Structure formats: C-alpha cells, structure tokens
Copies of this chain bind each other. A is one copy, B any other.
C-alpha cells in the first residue's frame, strides 16, 4: 500500500500528495522532483569508502543532493546559546550505497546531573524542492511566470521533513537539521550529547553536540517585542488537505502550521473581510470571513460566524492574540461582493473610495462590525487593513472608517504618506524606506506599530527557496538596524499546487508564496526565527547596557547592528552570509 502510494505520487507529480491521500498528518514519504543539474558522477562517488559518511555541516548552506557535500569532516558541533533560545545545526549524511530505514536519534544533553532533554531537540531530514531564480535583470522577482521554461529551475534543500524513517539512495546527500530549544529554566553551563544516525545493515554513526548555555534568557516567543506579521492563508490548508473549510479537520490540519507561527512570535491574525482581497493572486484565494446579505429593502445583514471561529481558534488554541488585521477596504480590483436576497445570487458592487456606493457598502458594514467587535471585546485589537494602495484612495477609505466609528484602528503596508501617517495605528513600509526619526519616536510613544516588509520586489534580502538562507536572519537584524518594530511578509503559507515538491508559482520567484510547508518548517523559516531571536537579544542587551551605562559595549553593539541596512551592506561590501555569521558570534560574546 505504501509503495502504491509512492507510485501514485510519482505518476501524478503535479497534484498534491496530501490531497491524494486525504489523510492527516502526512506521514508517508514522497518522491522529490528530479534534479537535472550537473553533479558528481558515479566514478567520483565510488572513490568514497563503503561506509556511510556523516559530518556536521553549516546551517547557511543548501547542500546539493547528488554531489558529495563540500564539508570539512567534523564530528563535534559547539555553540553558545541563551536560555530559551532555539539554536540550529545541520549535519550531512552521504553515501555511495543504498541505505534503508535510516533514522536519526539524539540523546539528552548533559551537564553533570542537569539535562536538556532530547524532547527539546528536533531532528529533520532536509528535503529538496524545485525552485527557480530572480528575474533576468537580477533586480527582483515580480511579474508573471506562466512559462516555467523561461526561468532556470533546480532542486534545492529547504523543507524540514517530519518523516522519521527514510531510505537513502546510493550517491546522494541527505542533510539532517537539528534544532535545540534550550529550556528557559536551563542552568548555564556546557551540555553534551550525541546525534546518531542508524540504518539497516549499517553500524550507527555518532556526532557530538556541545551547547554552552549562557547566563542570559530569551523570553518566550509570545513575549517578544518583535512585531511579526506573516499573513496566514487558511484556504490553502483546506485545499491541500482536502478538508471542508472551517471544519474540525481543517482546524486540526492548521494546528501544526499555525503553532509554528506562534512559536516564531507572530502577533497578528490575518482575516479577510471581502471576497478576493488580492484579486485571487495566490493558488487559493482568500474569501470573505464575513457574510453580507443585501436585503430586499436595501438594508444589510451581516454574519460573523466564520470570522469569529477563525479568530477564536487563533487566540485560544494557537495563542496568537495580539492583533486582528482585516483585509481590505481597497482591494486591487474594486469589486465588492454580497449575497443579494432578490436575485438569490452573489452580486458585486463596483465602486471606488469616494463614491456613494462605496460608502454604502463599507459604511454599513463598518458600523455593524464595530458593534460586533466591541461586543466580542476585540475592538481595540482590530485594524481595518490595507496594503500597497495610493494616498487618495486611503484618504477616502479613512473618511468612511472614521464616519462609521472614529475609534477604529487602521493599518497600511505600503508607501510612506505623511498626510495619513497619524491615522495609521500599524504602518509597514517597504524595504529601503524609513520612518522619519521624530515620527517613529512619536509613534512609539503613542503605542503605534511601525514595521518593514519585503516582497517580490527585493532581490535581497528575501526568503525565496533559492535565497541564501542567512538572508532570512539578515532581515531580523535589518529590522533592528532600520529602527522598525518588526517585519511583515504577505505570505506565510499560500501554498502552491504541489508545495512539498515544487515551490514555483505562476507569478514571482519560487518560494515567495510560502515560507513553511504543510506541517513542516524550512531552512528559511528557521533562519527567520534566528534573526528575530537576534533582534530580541539586541533589544535586551541594549536595555541592559543602557542600564549599566556601558557606553563602549553599547556603541560596539550598535555599530554591529548598523551594518544591516542597504547602506551598511554597500559600505562593508561583505557577503551577507558571512556578515550574519560573524555578527551572531559577536552577539553571543556580550
């Protein structure tokens, strides 16, 4: 049966695996897409000894699948960590012969009688997905990609699989990701343990782990100051797992994905208050979580069953409860849907901000929505959210919002407009744009959120599946260097048709639509979390150094941070990966 499923998966490469199996969690293996790039030939591989090769590698490297990895063999991984920090390592396994039933195990890490239990450690086989490349001008990755042949494609290591037993084929490399979540109550000191790879008919091979827990503590993700806003797409999860929207099965399927997000310190619940807020640009469009009926007499009826269910799930079951962003009053296509009682059909109002039909559609809704949110006790957490819209449209939309309830919070991810800045509670600027220092200070004092976003426009830093992994970490440092409160990305899990194997999409560069896989994290996501942790560490160190009035160390820290800007990058001419590697080491030395 298992073989049959693999066969099926091979035969229908383009359809999603889980949808075929219609089971959850997805515990069967699957066949990766073919790596068509040049790689080490059989003769090269055959020079290896017959035994399985296993060594520590580097988390910043995506090791090619069909070549012998470029590593200096090392059996000991040594690192510093804060209490409460998640640290990553990458081991690499390669073999010239087939090895069946390979498993990876990790021991408790011991420091005398104190222990970091193995339950705090996750190991994953790193899996290979299809990616593409930047646009030909290397200046970005926006625009359509209908014809995949026009972009160079290749297989890259990115996904951290949850499967626990794999057969490793002869002449392949199999990286292994190791993540240790140091308990917050761990005692400082050196902890040692072992990573073991085993397989059928082979002697187990060990690597050593040595974690030096420092006497500093990172708060739990929930308490991080970093304002993380990766937009969730519940519709993609329902489609991938072929489960009814908002059913128990759907919420069950979302749990691992959304838990990963909560563990990254996400603050915001993404909600859609209209049909196709982004004109259905993702594989699975967002639909309205609010039901609107235009009654025969012209009045409106609203129902919030879905909205409430989703928000309550995220708050109570997932623990993301700080903010609710509601998209959008100014979609890319200015068509607003409603169920029309007369025609018994869904109809659309076409209206621009500033027009009477727009005011009727949105004003009626916002008045009722305000009432509902206040009743639920969510009004102060909720923003009416727009993205990448022009000043004039924003001004008209703001009028309608203020008319409905002057106390509504409003958010925008887009250009900086000084005219409406005071109106925006949550304001996110595109990479390369900064808030004027005085404005940022005023916003901070008023408890307003000011963040930065990247999207397809940025060749660097980004989190495409072909981006250097350290770029994701670089983003966290950049948020601190640019004096932002956090980071926004438009797509956390807007999965492609076959997300486990093919990260390419009909638009933008591969991986733009999602940073995590169904139930599975990624090299990109773990690096992003590293950057956020570093942001928190810097924040804590700055407070501490300021309290201690340790100006020299504070200057040193600030200088270290200040490189992580477009200007700093240009000045230092450093390779961003090296920059991240160095800076992270220095950070642990404070």
Assess whether A220 is interfacial by the CB under 8 Å rule. Answer: no
Q: How far is the CA of A287 from the CA of B341 in the complex (A)?
A: 11
Q: Are A342 and B296 in contact (CB under 8 A)?
A: no
Assess whether A351 is interfacial by the CB under 8 Å rule. Answer: no
Given A289-B344, A291-B344, 8 more A-B residue pairs with CB atoms under 8 Å apart are A245-B342, A246-B296, A246-B342, A296-B305, A296-B309, A303-B341, A305-B341, A306-B341
Given contacts A296-B306, A305-B296, A306-B296, contact A346 B346 (CB under 8 A): yes
Given contacts A296-B305, A296-B309, A309-B296, contact A342 B244 (CB under 8 A): yes
Query: How many of chain A's residues have a CB under 8 angstroms from any CB in B?
Result: 23
Assess whether A227 is interfacial by the CB under 8 Å rule. Answer: no
Q: Are B247 and A342 in contact (CB under 8 A)?
A: yes
A232-255 contacts to B, CB under 8 A, are 244-247
Smallest beta-carbon distance A249→chain B, Å: 12
Smallest beta-carbon distance A349→chain B, Å: 13
Assess whether A589 is interfacial by the CB under 8 Å rule. Answer: no
What sequence of 0s and 1s flags, for each residue 284-303 of chain A, a beta carbon within 8 Å of any chain B beta carbon? 00011111000110000001
Interface of A is mostly: loop
Contact of A341 among B291, B341, B342 (CB under 8 A): B291
Assess whether A339 is interfacial by the CB under 8 Å rule. Answer: yes
Residues of chain B within 8 A of A119, CB atoms compared: none
Residues of chain B within 8 A of A289, CB atoms compared: 344
Q: Chain A interface (Cβ within 8 Å of chain B)?
A: 244-247, 275, 287-291, 295-296, 303, 305-306, 309, 339, 341-346
Q: How far is the CA of A309 from the CA of B341 in the complex (A)?
A: 12
Contact of A343 among B287, B296, B309, B344 (CB under 8 A): B287
Residues of chain B within 8 A of A244, CB atoms compared: 342
Q: Are A287 and B246 in contact (CB under 8 A)?
A: no
Q: How far is the CA of A305 from the CA of B296 in the complex (A)?
A: 8
Q: Are A344 and B306 in contact (CB under 8 A)?
A: yes
Q: How far is the CA of A288 from the CA of B309 in the complex (A)?
A: 29
Smallest beta-carbon distance A265→chain B, Å: 30
20 contacts between A and B (CB under 8 A): A244-B342, A245-B342, A245-B343, A246-B296, A246-B342, A247-B296, A287-B344, A287-B345, A289-B344, A291-B341, A291-B344, A295-B305, A296-B305, A296-B306, A296-B309, A306-B341, A306-B342, A306-B344, A339-B339, A346-B346
Q: Are B344 and A288 in contact (CB under 8 A)?
A: yes
Residues of chain B within 8 A of A287, CB atoms compared: 343-345
Residues of chain B within 8 A of A246, CB atoms compared: 296, 342
Smallest beta-carbon distance A309→chain B, Å: 7
Residues of chain B within 8 A of A306, CB atoms compared: 296, 341-342, 344
Smallest beta-carbon distance A572→chain B, Å: 50
Nearest chain B residue, comparing its CB with the CB of A339: B339
